[in-house]
Structure 1
Amino acid sequence: MPLTPLLVGVDVGTTNLKVLAIDPNTMELVAHAARPVETDVPKPGYAEQNAEAIWQLLLDCMGELTAEITTAGRTIGALCFSTAMHSILAVDEAGTPLTAALIWSDNRASQEAAVLRKEDGDLYKTIGVPVHPMLPLCKLVWFGRHQPRLLKRAARWLSLKEYLWWKLTGHYEIDYAMASATGLFDSRKAAWHRPALKLAGINTGQLSTPVNTTHTVPYAALPGNVVPGLPPGTLLVIGASDGCLANLGAGAVEPGITTITIGTSGAVRRTSVRPIRDAQSRLFSYPLYKHEARSTTTHPDKTDADLTDWYVVGGPTNNGANVLEWLSEKLAKQDVPSVLASAATVPPGSEGLVFLPYLQGERAPLWNATARGSYRNLDWQHTQAHMVRAALEGVMFNLRQIELLLARHAGPTRVIHANGGFAQSAFWVQMMADVFGVPVRLNASNESGAIGAVLLARLALSLGTGEPVSLSDLTRQIAFGQTFQPDSERHTLYTQSFKAFQALLDMV
């Protein structure tokens, strides 16, 4: 009996490009490959990546992956893409890059973002993402001010994902989730927002065609762009953004489940059947999947859960494990395990010491690129270990701020699904449970983005057969590791410390 074809999740992150081949029946990892992605910083505040170099990394990874799959006697059924948001580059008529890709952490458009936030306050109501230098909208305004000839000369403006998709398929297409992250898109109407395009100084002809996240194209090798080992006809699923698919891959689609990811940066996310708009423009709202009308007519017996739209809502933070890195390299000058061990010698609340963790400005909940970190209430009794623990607590308090804001719109959190590099520290994960006062469940795998891509590929395949499955059903296969229960006494202490943290935010 032939084995089930594998599904491949392609995860194009800021620091690594990874491809994982997973058995859709068992969710077992069969093969994988990864390569580091380089970021150039030509000037302070700039952050750029080379699109063609990333394409070559994808080819290298696919060559390694398909060799492993062949050795295992398996085949590939589909590929689905999870990609970091907010990148943008210009290409000419032939698709050749005219610029490097400006990625999410590129802050050169800070001044343009500040002006847009002040003068176009109603823009958020339509685009569903706070105006910030990370947005391609703001970067295009920057190009208009500093390189106006390039803005007009560019045949198209693309994200890194669109560039890879064009190399694979020959089509200029963008999924709804990635389009919503540009600041140029009305996700409720699933169309480019013309007032935003006018602000950016471009037209729809310079942008890709928006498509659903389950949009598929059969692979046909294009001249000069052959993917090693990938059979013609393999289904390519355009997928979604890394944030959306990390939420899906974390198994967080039911009410009351909040996903918190802490890598270098971090995010707090919920899955919702409706977009959310915060009165003070502090939360994002991205489509994970928009159901198509044909499903309701073909299968009237399906429930709303099978057929509804799905959105991922929440807020990102700039300050996650980068704070731990700073503690290790700049403050304690010790390795990470030693830093964490020192923090454990200090009682919860750091004996009154509070740290505002804004080492690299902040997105949610402040949306202030100029915010900076500081210690408050520092006195003679405090040691370096106190400073370490207070900094780790400060990261958690900032995430708690985002979670409380999100809870106002999406309801209270009953359990957290946690992932990211921080999950390797049981001490820090327990701190999360104690600060938030709810259980924290770890995903068995930290590859939630790639797993989410595989689950979305399964949804796309099911739509192709006319028997759509629900996202809730898909996530039941996700494996979990340890669950950390909150300690009531420590939670009480942290509640007081959190109030002290909140009282200092007006001084940022």
Structure 2
Amino acid sequence: MTAYYIGIDVGTGSARATLVTSTGETLASHSKDTRTWRDSSDARIFEQSTTDIFDAICACVHQVLTEAKVKKEDVKGLGIDATCSLAVVDTQGNPVCVTRGQDLCGKPGERNIILWADHRAQEEANLINKSGSVVLDYVGGAMSLEMEIPKILWLKKHMSTELFARCMFFDLPDYLTYLITGSLARSSCSLVCKCSYIPAGATPAAQGWNADFFRVIGLDQMVDDGYKQLGGVLGQNDSLVLTAGMPVGRGLSKNAAERLGLVEGTPVGSGVIDAYAGWIGTVAACHQTADGISTKPTLEESRTRLAAVAGTSTCHLIQAPKGHFVPGVWGPYKNALFPDWWMNEGGQSSTGQLIDFIITTHPAHSELLEAVEKNGKPVHAILAEKLQELKKEANISSLTRLTKDLHFYPDLHGNRSPLADPTMRGSIVGLSLDSSLSDLALKFNVALEAIALQTRHILDEMRRHGHEIQGIYMSGGQAKNEPLMQLLANVCKVPVIIPPNASSAVVLGAAMLGRFAHNVTDDLKRRGMPEGLSTQSQVDEESARVGTQLWTIMTEMTQPGKVVVPEVDVADVKLLEAKYQIYMEAIEIQRRWRAAMEKAAS
């Protein structure tokens, strides 16, 4: 009997389900938009709804089963990834509004998620980063306001004491596994990467939650209550922390199975943050070479492979057998995916979003849309053609030379890595009195350059602190942008590997977690443990025994990728190097100007 696996991906603006075989072949995939609430008077606010997201997930799962004509009994495992957003419910699992003023919450169940991109918790992050806690060492030296603890601290300040005490707080992947299994087990990925959890063994004193940290920032109540609102103390009261893909509870609950159209008890893998699913779905790829397909990589080789998961934002993930402390780069995170391996995560807060902003706010946007409709080609293709026209008219050899006097610094939404400074802002030098489609094309090109230059900045910092990076493994919608992929290879001076279906790599990674959970569950049954894992000691023992099997699944289900090699045009290399130096100088200029204005205003 053929076994099938479902991956569920909850991105920033949509939910998606994909049905795959054990070889990674996609049989059906379906996505559905999800709603994000904004605040017309506060651009920092991004809120979502767990009810809305789960409705979308259920619709997607039903659709892929129908489209592929697969029986629910043949689906053997389910895996989930989601954005690192804060989901808030009460102790009964009912949504709790996260918006100031209950009158703004809309219908019951709405607006109980603070999205990752929400920047309301700036003051709280500043307070945390003045604490001097060892916790900060494991997030690159400064905790981002996009993480969960600053958001929770903001809610404590703006909720009634009684309501806050009744809340449970989840990173979204963990909430979704709780919703469909009823198990309060948390994923190591979410706790370590976004919730200030330091696993045992990361430091001589580390035992999970850091009581001194929580007390100094004003969350004493959580310490006194045994961290129940965050999942509890490891090893106490059935509190479990699971590495990626380990089976959650007893699989799908009866209610969730009915909603999803699947079988009760179907194994569910411990979830991961969406970017980490992109790592899972890409870095085990073989390469297409002149001589055929390269051999399957080993887990040891993963330490040289950086995954870039590029959608609204971009995350840069690399694993190592020991922890590397990189200032401004999140981590090192022990056990984020594999037991006893460490992960670092760099990031750009706005990349796909940045490109869209540059295009949609330009005066020639309406002219661009007319060209799209007239020619039946996508926006990026029209702009690429315009750039080629301009290059030909100027009689020059490259796009880099075409925009050599136009310089763009890209942090319109703050800097995540490696500066860890959410107050950074964008800038552009070289403006002219030109509002034509040609000008839009030029600005589009320098936006791509800026994204590539900032990627190099992140990679340079990772290398400087111990990482060896031999290739960038892409996933997400931006992988379709061929000029950007070539720029990344040229600027970062390493090959870029693109999977056959880059936009589905993240949800494929989630499906791999479902297969792993199925394998572990079957193995436990064969060994006389049909009830699964109920204590942390059992979890740790099993994780250590079978954890690396996830890598084997990855090599079996990841299709060979296309390789984009760096171009060696000497003139372009010199121009890009000069642009990189100007990019770095733009950082110092902005900091200097800001300091001068602060001094003048004081």
- On whether the aligned pair clears a TM of 0.5, the verdict is yes
Q: Is 2:233 the counterpart of 1:221? A: no
Contact kept, 8 Å, 1:352 with 1:497, in 2: the verdict is no
* Alpha-carbon distance change, 374 to 177 in structure 1, aligned in 2, over 3 angstroms: same
> Hey, what does 2:156 align to over in structure 1?
144
* Alpha-carbon distance change, 15 to 97 in structure 1, aligned in 2, over 3 angstroms: same
In structure 1, distance between residues paired with 2:139 and 2:583? 31
> Hey, what does 1:75 align to over in structure 2?
74
Aligned residues between the structures: 486
> Hey, what does 1:64 align to over in structure 2?
63
Q: Is 2:242 the counterpart of 1:194? A: no
Mapping for residues 477-492 of structure 1, pairs under 5 Å: 477=556, 478-489=558-569, 490-492=572-574
> Hey, what does 1:275 align to over in structure 2?
323
Moved more, 112-121 or 415-424: 112-121
Of residues 33, 38, 57, the one that matches 1:36 is 33
> Hey, what does 1:506 align to over in structure 2?
588
Give the Å deviation of 1:387.
Answer: 3.0
Q: Secondary structure in 2 aligned to 1:488?
A: coil
Give the Å deviation of 1:362.
Answer: 1.9
Give the letter aligned to residue 273 of structure 1.
Answer: P
Give the letter aligned to residue 427 of structure 1.
Answer: P
How much is the aligned-residue C-alpha RMSD, in angstroms? Answer: 2.7
In structure 1, distance between residues paired with 2:457 and 2:575? 17
Contact kept, 8 Å, 2:283 with 2:306, in 1: the verdict is no
In structure 2, distance between residues paired with 1:152 and 1:325? 37
Give the Å deviation of 1:246.
Answer: 0.8
> Hey, what does 1:242 align to over in structure 2?
274
Give the letter aligned to residue 453 of structure 1.
Answer: A
Contact kept, 8 Å, 1:260 with 1:417, in 2: the verdict is yes
Give the Å deviation of 1:289.
Answer: 3.1
Give the Å deviation of 1:126.
Answer: 4.6
In structure 2, distance between residues paired with 1:241 and 1:190? 22
In structure 2, distance between residues paired with 1:224 and 1:428? 41
Of residues 402, 406, 409, the one that matches 2:465 is 409
Give the Å deviation of 1:197.
Answer: 3.2
Give the Å deviation of 1:491.
Answer: 2.8
Q: Deviations over 1:413-451 (max 9, x none)?
A: 222212222222222211111111222111112222222
Moved more, 263-272 or 487-496: 487-496
Q: TM-score, normalised by structure 1?
A: 0.87
> Hey, what does 2:409 align to over in structure 1?
356
Q: TM-score, normalised by structure 2?
A: 0.75
In structure 2, distance between residues paired with 1:190 and 1:274? 18
Contact kept, 8 Å, 2:65 with 2:71, in 1: the verdict is no
> Hey, what does 1:304 align to over in structure 2?
none
> Hey, what does 1:341 align to over in structure 2?
385
Give the letter aligned to residue 269 of structure 1.
Answer: L
Give the Å deviation of 1:191.
Answer: 2.2
Where relative contact order (Cα < 8 A, 6+ residues apart) is larger, the structure is 2
Contact kept, 8 Å, 2:470 with 2:494, in 1: the verdict is yes
Contact kept, 8 Å, 2:306 with 2:316, in 1: the verdict is yes
Give the letter aligned to residue 262 of structure 2.
Answer: L
Contact kept, 8 Å, 1:357 with 1:394, in 2: the verdict is yes
Mapping for residues 111-190 of structure 1, pairs under 5 Å: 111-120=123-132, 122-126=134-138, 130-149=142-161, 152-187=164-199, 188=202, 189=206
> Hey, what does 2:505 align to over in structure 1?
448
Contact kept, 8 Å, 2:473 with 2:497, in 1: the verdict is yes
Contact kept, 8 Å, 1:31 with 1:69, in 2: the verdict is yes
> Hey, what does 1:317 align to over in structure 2?
348
Q: Deviations over 1:41-67 (max 9, x none)?
A: 134211111111212222222222333
* Alpha-carbon distance change, 117 to 342 in structure 1, aligned in 2, over 3 angstroms: farther
* Alpha-carbon distance change, 88 to 107 in structure 1, aligned in 2, over 3 angstroms: same
In structure 2, distance between residues paired with 1:64 and 1:479? 24
Contact kept, 8 Å, 1:437 with 1:488, in 2: the verdict is no
> Hey, what does 2:527 align to over in structure 1?
none
Mapping for residues 418-429 of structure 1, pairs under 5 Å: 418-429=474-485
In structure 2, distance between residues paired with 1:481 and 1:83? 24
> Hey, what does 2:448 align to over in structure 1?
392
Q: Secondary structure in 2 aligned to 1:418?
A: strand
In structure 2, distance between residues paired with 1:71 and 1:268? 35
Q: Is 2:49 the counterpart of 1:50? A: yes
Contact kept, 8 Å, 1:173 with 1:210, in 2: the verdict is yes
In structure 2, distance between residues paired with 1:194 and 1:151? 22
Of residues 485, 493, 496, the one that matches 2:575 is 493
In structure 1, distance between residues paired with 2:472 and 2:255? 47
Give the Å deviation of 1:180.
Answer: 1.7
Q: Secondary structure in 1 aligned to 2:336?
A: strand
In structure 1, distance between residues paired with 2:440 and 2:117? 30
Contact kept, 8 Å, 1:191 with 1:210, in 2: the verdict is no
Q: Secondary structure in 1 aligned to 2:361?
A: helix
Contact kept, 8 Å, 2:409 with 2:427, in 1: the verdict is yes
Q: Deviations over 1:337-363 (max 9, x none)?
A: 223333454531522321001122221
Give the letter aligned to residue 491 of structure 1.
Answer: V
Q: Secondary structure in 1 aligned to 2:18?
A: strand
Contact kept, 8 Å, 2:475 with 2:506, in 1: the verdict is no
Moved more, 197-206 or 100-109: 197-206
